């Protein structure tokens, strides 16, 4: 029997829900639907979906509330798909624990790729010891060796400082996901570090000089303006 990944679509617009169902079922997903926040939370707790696609503008509550409540007890992948394009909304959703944020309108191929990535990351996290990252991250000519605490470009040591390595390894741990400035700063410099993007920008500029062929057109480390940074998906 073919076991399908289950996707919960939380969307109040019936036509958009039907679009999601058509696309996802055509790509071999088991699809369940919710039109309100209350219904969504009930299905999350009872049906345990493999990934949640969450609209923020629901008739009975803001989707941010669902995201916050679920993150108090579960790390299940949640992808926000919203018409809200303001940076503050993206930052808030990501800080609350969203795995991804896609703005409407979006392409079908992009949506499917984000779903596959979110599910893959969630399953990889379940296999690794809590808080420990080991092994190799490889994308093109860049390799992060978590055991040696080194980053290599085309076989040579990139010569990162300790903090520069910590930033790259953190991005690699959450590959494909945007990490907000505040999250990175607190993870690298501690919870008492005041949010100062300047020190992070300086470190990122140094990292790009050592890793990217052309820092102005990065291949590996990308800026989401006003939000944070992400690293390319592994090969």
**Residues 60, 156 share a domain:** no
Final residue of a domain: which of 103, 127, 151?
127
* Confidence band for 115, pLDDT divided at 50, 70 and 90: very high
The Cα–Cα gap between 87 and 89 comes to: 5
Whether 209 is in a domain gets the answer yes
Final residue of a domain: which of 127, 144, 168?
127
Give the CATH number, domain containing residue 103.
3.40.50.2300
**Residues 121, 176 share a domain:** no
The full DSSP string for the chain is -PPPPEEEEE-S-HHHHHHHHHHHHHTT-EEEEESSHHHHHHHHHHH--SEEEE-SB-SSSBHHHHHHHHHTT----EEEEES---HHHHHHHHHHT-SEEEESS--HHHHHHHHHHHHHHHHHHHHSPTT---SEEEETTEEEETTTTEEEETTEE----HHHHHHHHHHHHTTTSPEEHHHHHHHHH-TTS---HHHHHHHHHHHHHHH-SSTTS-SSEEEETTTEEEEPPP-
**Residues 122, 19 share a domain:** yes
Total number of domains in the chain: 2
Whether 60 is in a domain gets the answer yes
**Residues 182, 157 share a domain:** yes
Q: What is the mean pLDDT of the chain?
A: 88
**Residues 145, 105 share a domain:** no
Give the CATH number, domain containing residue 219.
1.10.10.10
**Residues 144, 123 share a domain:** no
**Residues 78, 142 share a domain:** no
- pLDDT, position 156: 92
- pLDDT, position 167: 93
Residue that the structure tokens 């923020």 belong to: 56
Dump pLDDT digits (tens) for 6-46. 999 999 999 999 999 999 999 999 999 999 999 999 898 88
For residues 77-99, average pLDDT: 91
81: containing domain: 6-127
**Residues 151, 88 share a domain:** no
Whether 84 is in a domain gets the answer yes
**Residues 122, 22 share a domain:** yes
Dump pLDDT digits (tens) for 181-224. 988 888 887 766 666 688 888 899 999 999 999 999 999 999 98
- pLDDT, position 209: 94
Whether 197 is in a domain gets the answer yes
**Residues 109, 33 share a domain:** yes
- pLDDT, position 195: 65
Whether 1 is in a domain gets the answer no
**Residues 14, 62 share a domain:** yes
The reported pTM is 0.67
**Residues 155, 44 share a domain:** no
Which tokens in the block code for residue 115?
A: 């779903």
Final residue of a domain: which of 127, 152, 171?
127
Query: What's the chain's Rg over C-alpha atoms?
Result: 19
- pLDDT, position 191: 67
């Amino acid at each position: 029997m073919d076991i399908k990944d289950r996707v919960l679509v939380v969307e109040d617009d019936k036509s958009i829900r039907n679009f999601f169902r058509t696309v996802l079922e055509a790509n071999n997903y088991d699809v369940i639907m919710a039109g309100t926040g209350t219904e969504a939370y009930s299905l999350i707790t009872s049906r345990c979906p493999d990934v949640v696609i969450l609209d923020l503008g629901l008739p009975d509550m803001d989707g941010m509330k669902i995201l916050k409540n679920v993150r108090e007890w579960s790390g299940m992948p949640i992808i926000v798909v919203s018409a809200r394009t303001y940076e503050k909304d993206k930052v808030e959703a990501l800080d609350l624990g969203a795995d991804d944020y896609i703005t409407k309108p979006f392409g079908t191929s992009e949506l499917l790729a984000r779903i596959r990535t979110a599910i893959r990351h969630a399953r990889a996290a379940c296999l690794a010891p809590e808080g420990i990252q080991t092994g190799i991250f490889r994308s093109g000519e860049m390799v992060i060796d978590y055991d040696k605490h080194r980053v290599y470009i085309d076989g040579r040591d990139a010569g990162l400082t300790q903090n520069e390595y910590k930033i790259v390894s953190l991005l690699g741990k959450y590959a494909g996901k945007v990490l907000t400035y505040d999250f990175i700063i607190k993870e690298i410099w501690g919870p008492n570090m005041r949010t100062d993007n300047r020190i992070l920008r300086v470190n990122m500029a140094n990292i790009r000089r050592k890793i990217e062929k052309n820092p102005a057109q990065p291949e590996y480390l990308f800026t989401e303006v006003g939000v944070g940074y992400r690293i390319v998906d592994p090969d």
